[in-house]
Structure 1
Amino acid sequence: MMFKDKVFVNELAATAIMGNDAWNRPTAQPIKISVEFDTDFSMASKTDNLKYSLNYAVISRNIMEFMKINESKNFKSLQNIGEAVSEIVLDEKKGGGEKVEISIKSEKSEIRADEIEYKLYRDRYTQGVVEDKLDSINVKKLRLLTIIGVFTFERLQKQLVDIDLTIELLPHHNVIIHEIMEEITRFVEVSNFKTVEALELTIGQLIFQHYDNDISKVMVKITKPNAISYTEGVGVRSLLTKERFAGLEKLNTKPQVETNDQFNLPVTEEIKQGNHIVYIAFGSNVGDQVKNINQAIDLLAKHDIELLSTSSMYISKPMYVKDQPDFFNGVIKVQCKHSPTELLSILKHIEYEEIKRHKDFENGPRSIDLDILLYDESTVNKPELTIPHKSMLERTFVLQPLCELIKPDFIHPVSAEPIHNHLKELLKSQGNESIQESNKLMNIVPISQIDPSLNPLKFDHKSKTLMMGILNITPDSFSDGGKSFGDMDTIIKNFKKLVEDGSEIVDIGGVSTRPGADEPSESEELDRLLPVIKAIRDINKEVLISIDTYRSEVAKQCLDNGANIINDISMGLYDEEMFDIVAQYQCPYILNHTRGTSKTMSKLVNYEANTNEDLIELINDPLTGQSNQINDNPEVNNLINGISREQSLQLSKAFKKGVRKWQIILDPGIGFAKNLKQNLIILKYLNYFKKYSIIINERLNEDINENYISFNGLPLLVGTSRKKFLGTLNNEENPTERVVSTNATIISSIQQDCKIVRVHDTQEVAKTIRIGDAIYRDIY
């Protein structure tokens, strides 16, 4: 007979002795009894007469009376209680039904678990299996502590795991659930696992190797409730049968405890010969940090290790030992043929023999520290070397620069998760103040001639916006032509005012860059610049001097005479040797976007979508992840991506010449090959320049060399001062009238996380910066 209706009693409260409790005492414990009958009460529905159905009140009373009479009886198991209840509720004389599902739950019999449930199916006639439905035992939230994870911070202490079990039982089984739970607890809590998947398999094997003739299948669910702070838990679930464990050796139920010194990663069986891509972290907090870092990197070439690219450079708070100076950190990407152990030996030689590092104690001050983070996609586990680096995923000063050099889909060889995802989670965390004051980083653009403590080119989310005052010494500048031309006394007077107004940088230009301007000869440009640099350095040795030039020889001679920064409006397009000079002097370099020349740029304003299959563009933010476009407006995407794409191709050339990423300051080049609307789009979407990244596939015969360039970490400079588009918007024909208009763009730029503004009217802009920094950076 087919039954289509149900009558149930849900969680009837009772007490019973079901064997010894968690303290090995045969005491009565609270239980919950549920019964659900398969029946047909259609006639009762039609006649509204209860005699044609099952009376749940009578059934409930019968169960309670039975349990009360037997409150001193030791049933020894939940199953035995269920069997006894089934006889009551299937007794026709007592108003019972024909088929029933019974659940007996206990919340107190196991101190480690929230609940144990025995579920059985019985009918009046067979008194056994009902339609192939097997009995089952369910364990809810068996709470254990174990070492689980692949990273150092996870292996320093045990963490909580919740285990749920559903065990399907064969007829006439001999399973004792308390014995299973005891063995799982004993084994797991003195073992260690790299993954929850391995833990899940271990639990299944423990159950089947003792009860393979009693169990049909086991559902194992493992939850790590505290792994990710904004979820209720993460984990795995799997349905296991004994076939899964065929041929496996039995588990040793007396495992050894892993010490914190052990780190048993799966290893790559064989490291193939040939070229290898390696990522190396560097750090220094003793002596001249920048000099130490550059020296260490230069020494790599002596050992046939080719530098491919560098990250930005960061300042970080010391970790583990907090009472020491801040560190300068970053990551480099290299190529070599050395094995991992050979490479380690070379790095230690550079540290201790070449740069004379002294190690007084673990995690203490050091002049240079070089650590192998990744070696291809290999894993190495030796007493002296672990790859991937054990501690990399707990350190922002490693992950943040590393993610500037690896694609967003780069998978950690052990965690099987993109490394960018690990960075995102780390940046969202507050860090552990007991081992590091803060995990937030400060970006620095190093200047070799200046003590790092006096270098203003240091940026974080709360750093002051820097002002670059403009000192044009040309007769034909678009906004102040002739103002500082020829007369040295006037030039010095104007320079002093820029500094008094608060300019941290003074940008000196000997060539007009206004559209249509004629360019002077190289010697004429030098004649204008060199006397001014020398005169300024005689009276002021601290202020940063930037030289607005696109000629490499001019850059070289100005740097030799005291200049600090090269501001190249051509981003290296006008002079192919510019990158050689910038690399040689290791000076800051402002990469200003442009097209054409001063005479042709106004016509080159058509920005199209990328059609080159070897260039893959991304918008990638360390905190929010990646996307393929800024928004749905093609004009916006084409402009921002077009500017960034052209800058990234120039950066690729610069890096091959030896320029390092930490030298670069980005300038989107407002007014250079852009019309009015495009200038406004740049200002509106300025922050997206810092999120741009690109994969450049370079084809070499049949091989493809993949080069990833990310703008993450690059400081942004904007120059809108007195520009024509502002005059057009406000009908201000004379450039000197555009002060208020300029200041409006300054506020907008600060809101979009611009770090440096290049301006003429320094006294007025200084006030604007103070307001913008107060609003957007909480500086006041």
Structure 2
Amino acid sequence: MSNDTVFINNLSTSAIIGKDAWNQASLQPIFISARLNTDFQQASVADDLKHSLNYAVLSRNILELMKINEHKNFQSLHNVAKSISRIMLDPKQGGGEQVEVIVKSTKSEIRADSVEYKLNRTRDALVSQILDEISINGLKILTVIGVFTYEKVQKQYVHIDLSLKVPSKLSISIHQIIDDVVQYVESSNFNTVEALVMKIGQLIIGKHAIDSVGVKVIKPNAIPFTDGVGVSSYMTKDSFKDLQSTQSNFPTFDENSTKNGDHTAYIAFGSNQGNQIKNIREALNYLEEAKIKIISTSSLYISKPMYYKDQPDFFNGVIQVSFKDLSPIDLMTICKEIEYERINSVKKINNGPRSIDLDILLYDDITFNRDDLIIPHKSMLERSFVLQPLCELMSPDVLHPVTAEPFHQHLAQILNSRPDETLQDSLDLLQIIPIPRLELNHEKNPLKFDQLKYKHLTLIMGIMNITPDSFSDGGDNYNMSADVIESTALRLLDEGATILDIGGVSTRPGSIPSSEDEELRRVLPVIKIIRESKNEKLSTCLISIDTYRANVAEECLKAGADIINDISMGLYEPEIFHVIAKYGCPYIMNHTRGTTQTMSSLNNYESNSNEDIVEYMIDPLNPSFNVKNWDSKVTNLINGVSRELGLQIFKAFRSGVRKWQVIIDPGVGFAKNLSQNLIVIKHASYFKRYSMTVNGHSYLTFNGLATLLGPSRKKFLGTLCNEPIARERVISTGATIMACIQQNTDIVRVHDVKEMNKVVKVGDALYKDIYERK
């Protein structure tokens, strides 16, 4: 082949090259360069152009081609380059035997300075084995990158150049490659440019079936008095073949690898059509039928739709699962079967409405790239409705397999950022506790809470004790007639109660419990009277049953109760967990120790001595949050109460209870003395932050859980204020309710609803900027 070259540089013309960054198929300026190999020795000696290739004729032929096809949509730069290569190789049009064509666009991509497609062709060679080259130049992306603290708090620009070797027969979307890289880099954190370069290469090769890629990353602002510093690398598929053995933080997984053994995965779910709770419940049941064990669930969240905004709100959450002998593709196949065959979910448009959506977020700690499945999920880092529930299931030291940054750091970044309103109206999530009776009408479910900003009403639970020995009301409600029961319940609702808490057995310290039959005789008629009332406000209100007995709970739920309020947190009758799981109802788990006869003496709280338990305080908005200046008696009490609640929650999970059913009550007055009751109220917000890891792998956080406190008329208030008669403790109760609101308590359980409603109104105005209550 000759070493002589005739070339054309940046011939300016225009073409329609598919849809641009604005999704328009419009005429774009492009620049065409061509290099043709030839032998012009004879032309040099004879000084006669007929012995060489005429670049003027070739340029004219290119311009004529583009003029003739100015209304044709070439669809891509690749197709333009192919068309030009044909006339460059046509001897009848003055072409040569070998040509290199470069077609460059400077306006079709917003993020990049230019994109180019380069091909080499010869007149007679087959092109099936030829590799062409795509260049993306000056791609500008904002991301968090660097090892210094100040680099972690503010995004900076990186400039990225990409050079991709692609088979000539392969159709590659430059738009999609740019979108994937931008989305990934902007939602990730990196300490080093080297890691960023490698992960971009891994993303492109894994997702787009490209054999090799060159990546160059420049940090223009890293070093003063330079145009920029950075690194570059040329990578092929083989570059990642041994990644698992050389970099434990970034293991890879090939679909041909063995699938045998035990695996753990995290699956996100979402639903915004039909009976959303039923869809979610059935999807989880189908997973269990496929021998996929649900280890734990997040809270349940309501989110605004993303990408396609004109659709109903979603119910979202994440589950942690374990299974044997299933590859990522096997797991995806099961999820798709549940979506499309079991629940008949239909996606008419991408990211549009669906009955159920199951997305694999993580599988063990691998990375996996295939056209139909990418692990870790490529969009998870931009979705608060995925990250927030996911971080409920993993400890703060768990790293993203690709970014090598903690998931909790990613969550904090997205929560502290402003939403892109073109994609989603709001990042804010509402935690919802489903009520089975209201599954098809969740707008009427008041158990919705904003557990980050606390911009929700404090709910009032009104107490109706149907016992002859109640400590506070002396049995006023015992043996009431149906008319009195109805009028009493309605009065509580009119005074401001959202929930009626009906108790048929006394749980005051020192009391002797009535029999199960007697408890049922007391409470079942009350439920029936309320549910059958002709007053809609009464017949549709939320009914809570204050019981620790499994059979009483089940009979009351069958009779129409909505919530079970268990003062024993499942210690007295662990079978109650099976009832809660069976009926899917809200479950208030109240901390206590011992029995009603012994609890008052069991108030010694020690520091954690179990080496298998590691404790944290987690604030989703601030991963570096830590408790300072706590006295040991405060630490021991708050952690001790939380630890004992947490271990019972683990037991509930093993019985099938979902996290979104649980409301925690730290148990004011139960196994606590006066000063301890004050500590619980004063530090109540920390119960929302408590987290624990057991045996190195079982993780639980109270993030996302609603809290209920019931200091009303308790004995410690009488001691403080010299009020021996419980009825007289109204003002002192009001003081504690105000403190509960300041501590972000979601539900307060009170006797004096009318008076406490006024306290709650003022408290919500002071601490939540809420001035009107419905």
Give the TM-score normalised by structure 1.
0.68
SS at structure 2 position matched to 1:624: coil
**How far, CA to CA, are the matches of 2:643 and 2:156 in structure 1?**
46
1:294 to 2:281 alignment: yes
Q: What is the aligned partner in structure 1 of residue 314 from structure 2?
A: 327
1:575 partner amino acid: E
Task: Please list, as runs of the form range in 1=range in 2, the aligned pairs for 1:457-536 lying within 5 A after superposition.
Answer: 457-460=447-450, 461-488=454-481, 489-536=483-530
Q: 1:777 aligns with which of 755, 768, 774?
A: 768
1:268 corresponding residue in structure 2: 253
Establish whether residue 409 from structure 1 lines up as the match of residue 408 from structure 2. no
Give the conservation status (yes or no) of the 8 Å contact 2:408–2:620: yes
2:493 corresponds to which letter in structure 1? V
Question: 1:742/1:377 Cα in 2 relative to 1: closer, same or farther (>3 Å)?
Answer: same
Are 1:311 and 2:269 matched, yes or no?
Answer: no
* 2:76 match: none
Whether the aligned pair in 2 keeps the contact of 1:590 and 1:664 (CA below 8 Å) is yes
Conserved? CA contact 1:545–1:564, under 8 Å: yes
Distance in 1, Cα, partners of 2:180 & 2:408: 30
Structure 1 residue 146: Cα displacement: 4.3
Residues 373, 192 of structure 1: alpha-carbon distance in 2 compared, 3 angstrom cutoff: closer
CA positional deviation for 1:249: 7.6
Give the conservation status (yes or no) of the 8 Å contact 2:263–2:364.
yes
Within the candidate set 158, 172, 177, 1:161 is matched to 158
Q: Distance in 1 between matches of 2:653 and 2:706?
A: 17
Query: Aligned partners of 2:143, 2:622: CA distance in 1, in Å?
Result: 25
Secondary structure of 1:716's counterpart equals strand
User: How far did 1:683 drift?
Assistant: 1.0
Contact kept? 2:617, 2:689, Cα under 8 Å: yes
For residue 715 of structure 1, the aligned residue among 666, 685, 706 is 706
Which stretches in structure 1 are left out of the alignment for 5+ residues?
A: 1-142, 152-157, 164-187, 203-219, 252-264, 698-704
Structure 1 counterpart of 2:664, one-letter code: L
Q: Distance in 2 between matches of 1:341 and 1:332?
A: 18
Q: Please say if residues 434 and 447 of structure 2, whose CA atoms lie closer than 8 Å, have aligned partners that are also in contact.
A: yes
Structure 1 position 325, deviation (Å): 0.6
Q: Structure 1 residues 577, 199: closer, same or farther in 2, change over 3 A?
A: closer
Superimposed CA distance per residue, residues 695-718 of structure 1 (whole angstroms, 9 cap, x where no aligned partner): 011xxxxxxx72000000000101
Amino acid across the alignment from 2:719: T
Q: How does 1:365-376 map to 2 (within 5 A)?
A: 365-376=353-364
Q: Is the 8 A contact 2:436 2:584 kept in 1?
A: yes
* Contact persistence 1:580–1:658 (CA under 8 A): yes
Structure 1 residues 320, 602: CA separation in 2 closer, same or farther (over 3 Å shift)?
same
Q: CA deviation at 1:737?
A: 0.8
Q: CA 1:656 to 1:201, structure 2 compared with 1: closer, same or farther past 3 Å? A: closer
Identify the match of residue 438 of structure 1 among 426, 431, 440.
426
Select the residue among 364, 371, 375 that pairs with 2:352: 364
Alpha-carbon distance between aligned partners in 2 of 1:454 and 1:250, rounded to the nearest angstrom: 56
User: Residues 149, 386 of structure 1: CA spacing in aligned structure 2 closer, same or farther, 3 A cutoff?
Assistant: farther
Deviations 1:126-167 (A, max 9, x none): xxxxxxxxxxxxxxxxx953469899xxxxxx994279xxxx
Question: SS in structure 1 opposite 2:296?
Answer: strand
Aligned to 2:559: 561
How far apart, CA to CA, are the structure 2 residues paired with 1:279 and 1:682? 34
Matched AA of 1:274: G
Contact 2:465 2:477 in 1 (8 A): yes
Tell me, yes or no, if the aligned pair for 1:619 and 1:626 is still in contact at 8 Å.
Answer: no
- 1:200 to partner: Cα distance: 9.1
Query: Where in structure 2 are the equivalents of 1:274-285 lying within 5 Å?
Result: 274-285=261-272
SS in structure 1 of the partner of residue 457 of structure 2:
coil
Indicate the larger mover: 587-596 or 769-778.
769-778
Give aligned pairs, total: 559
**Preserved contact between residue 141 and residue 158 of structure 2 (Cα < 8 Å):** no
Aligned to 1:651, which of 649, 652, 657?
A: 649
Q: Answer whether contact 2:709 2:748 (CA < 8 A) is retained.
A: yes
**What SS does structure 2 have at the residue aligned with 1:527?**
helix
Matches within 5 A, 1:210-229: 222-223=218-219
SS at match of 1:757: strand
- Mapped contact 1:472–1:481 kept (Cα < 8 A): no
Q: Partners in 1 of 2:720 and 2:474 — Cα distance? A: 22
SS at match of 2:745: coil
Deviation string 1:546-589 (CA, Å, 9 cap, x unpaired) is 00000000000000000000000000000020101000001000
Asked if the contact 2:143/2:156 (under 8 Å) is kept, the reply is no
Contact 1:161 1:222 in 2 (8 A): yes
Corresponding letter in the other structure for 2:390: L
Q: Against the structure 1 CA distance between its residues 346 and 731, is the aligned structure 2 distance closer, same or farther, given a 3 Å change threshold?
A: same
Aligned-pair CA distance for 1:223: 3.1
Equivalent position to 1:741, from 729, 732, 749: 732
Structure 2 counterpart of 1:712, which letter?
A: N
- 1:768 and 1:236 mapped to 2: Cα distance? 60
Give, in whole Å, the separation in 1 of the partners of 2:181 and 2:665.
51
SS of residue paired to 2:525: helix
TM superposition shift of 1:632: 3.5
Distance 1:150 1:328 in 2: 30
* 8 Å contact kept, 1:408–1:626: no
Q: Deviations over 1:355-404 (max 9, x none)?
A: 01111111111110000000000111000000000000000000000000
Gaps of 5+ in 2: 1-136, 146-154, 161-176, 199-215, 237-249
Distance 1:192 1:478 in 2: 65
Q: Contact 2:546/2:566 (CA < 8 Å) preserved in 1?
A: yes
Paired residues of 2:638 and 2:687 also in contact (CA < 8 A):
yes
> RMSD over aligned Cα, in angstroms?
3.0
User: Hey, what does 2:542 align to over in structure 1?
Assistant: 544
Deviation for aligned residue 1:267: 3.6
Matched residues in 2 for 1:734 and 1:665: separation? 30
**1:194-253 alpha-carbon deviations (Å, 9 max, x no partner):** 776249989xxxxxxxxxxxxxxxxx9953769xxxx99xx9978x9xxxx9xx9899xx
- Write the distance in 1 (CA, Å) between the matches of 2:347 and 2:179: 35
- Choose 1 or 2 for highest CA Rg: 1
Alpha carbons 2:141, 2:159 under 8 Å: kept: no
Match of 1:145 in 2: 139
Distance across 2 between alignment mates of 1:454 and 1:589:
19
- CA gap 1:161/1:395 in 2 versus in 1, 3 angstroms: same
Distance in 2 (alpha carbons) for counterparts of 1:613 and 1:561: 45
Do the aligned partners of 1:444 and 1:458 also contact (CA within 8 Å) in 2?
A: yes
Alpha-carbon distance in structure 1 between the residues aligned to 2:144 and 2:713: 56
Structure 1 residue 482: Cα displacement: 1.1
Decide whether aligned partners of structure 1 residues 225 and 711 sit closer, same or farther in structure 2, where only a CA change above 3 A counts: farther
From 732, 755, 774, give the equivalent of 2:746: 755
- Residue 173 (structure 1) aligns with: none
Taking the aligned partners of 1:358 and 1:395, their CA distance within structure 2 comes to 22
Tell me the CA shift for residue 628 of structure 1. 6.2
Q: Which residue of 2 aligns with 1:424?
A: 412
For the pair 1:453 / 2:418, whether they are aligned, the reply is no
What displacement does 1:192 show? Answer: 6.6
Question: How many angstroms apart in 1 are the aligned matches of 2:266 and 2:328?
Answer: 12
1:633 Cα deviation after fit: 1.1
Corresponding position of 1:593: 591
CA displacement at 1:430 relative to structure 2: 1.4
Q: How does 1:532-681 map to 2 (within 5 A)?
A: 532-539=526-533, 540-626=538-624, 629=627, 631-681=629-679
User: % of aligned pairs identical?
Assistant: 55
